[in-house]
Amino acid sequence: MTSRQIALVTGASRGLGRSTALALAHRGVRVVVTYREDAQGADDTVRVITGAGGDALAMPLDIGDVDSFAAFGAELVEQLRARWNTENLDILVNNAGIGIFAPLAEVTTATFDAVVNTNFRGTFFLVQALVPHIPAGGRIINVSTSLTRHASPGTSVYSASKAALEVLTRSLAIELGARGIRINAVAPGPSATDFNGGAMRDAPELRNNLAAQTALGRVGEPDEIGDAIAALASDDMRWVTAERIEVSGGSLI
C-alpha cells in the first residue's frame, strides 16, 4: 500500500470507525473521516492522525439521509481535488451503524426503519453514489456483526439488517469485480465501544458473559477490529473478494 491511497471511513468520530481510520493512516493511507453529529470526535480522529504524521480531513455525512448523498459526493470531490489533487477514493469502509435491541413485541416501525435505513439502505446508496469515484484496484469493506452467524434474543432487526449487508456484499462483488473492485464484509464480535450504550465496555456482567463465549476469553478492543479492516484493505489481500471475515476472538464457535 502506498502513501498515495485515499480511504473514506464512515462513522469515524469514535469506536471502530475511528480505530479503522487510525489503522489505515498508520499504513500511510490518507483518510476522509466522516461523522453524523460528533464533529469534535471527528476532529479528534483527524488530530491524532495528523499528529502522527498522517493526513486526514473530516466531513459530515448522515448515512440515513440518502437524499444528501449527491451533494455529499460533490463536496467530497471538491475536498479531494483541493487537498490531494484527485477525484478518486481507493478504499471505502462502510462502518457507520446503529444497534437498537428489543424483543419482537417492542420493535416499532420507527426503530425498525432507523436500523434498516442506517445499516442497510444508507450503505447501499452510499456505495452507489461513491463507486464512480473508486477506480480499478479499489476496495470496499462493509462492517457487519458476528450476530449474523449466531442468534441472540432481541437482536432480530439489527442482525437482519447486517445479514442484508452481507448478501449485498456478495452480490456486488460480481458487479464490481468486473471493474476490478473488491468488496468484503468484516464481522466484529462484541467490542468495547459506545455501541449499545457502551454495554460491552461498561456493563461487567454482560462483558464477562460475552467474554466467556469467546475462544480467546474476552471482548474485542476497537484497535483489533481497525487493524483487521486495514489488513483486509491492503494489497496483501488483493485476491480476496465477496468474503465475510469474522473478527471476534472466536465467539460462539
Ligand X SMILES: NC(=O)c1ccc[n+]([C@@H]2O[C@H](COP(=O)([O-])OP(=O)(O)OC[C@H]3O[C@@H](n4cnc5c(N)ncnc54)[C@H](OP(=O)(O)O)[C@@H]3O)[C@@H](O)[C@H]2O)c1
Q: Does 54 help bind ligand X (rule: CB under 6 A)?
A: no
Q: Does 61 help bind ligand X (rule: CB under 6 A)?
A: yes
Q: Min. distance of Cβ 165 from ligand X in angstroms? A: 9
Distance (Å, whole) CA 126 – CA 224: 26
Q: Does 226 help bind ligand X (rule: CB under 6 A)?
A: no
Largest CA distance in the chain: 52
Q: Which of residues 143-162 bind ligand X (CB under 6 A)?
A: 143, 145
Among 11, 54, 226, 249, binds ligand X (CB under 6 A): 11
When computed from its CA atoms, the radius of gyration of the chain, rounded to whole angstroms, is 17
Q: Does 249 help bind ligand X (rule: CB under 6 A)?
A: no
Nearer Cβ to ligand X (96/232): 96
Distance (Å, whole) CA 111 – CA 124: 19
Q: Does 98 help bind ligand X (rule: CB under 6 A)?
A: yes
**Nearby residues of 218 by Cβ (< 8 Å), 6 or more positions away:** 211, 249
Q: Does 224 help bind ligand X (rule: CB under 6 A)?
A: no
In DSSP notation, 80-118 reads: HHHHHS-S--SEEEE---------GGG--HHHHHHHHII
Q: Does 99 help bind ligand X (rule: CB under 6 A)?
A: yes
* Residues marked as catalytic: 158
Distance (Å, whole) CA 36 – CA 97: 11
236's grid cell: 496483501
> Near ligand X by CB under 6 A, which window of 49-57, 69-77, 90-98, 227-235?
90-98
Q: Does 14 help bind ligand X (rule: CB under 6 A)?
A: yes
Residues lying near ligand X in the complex (CB under 6 A): 10-11, 13-17, 35-38, 41, 61-64, 95-99, 118, 143, 145, 188, 190-191, 193-195, 200
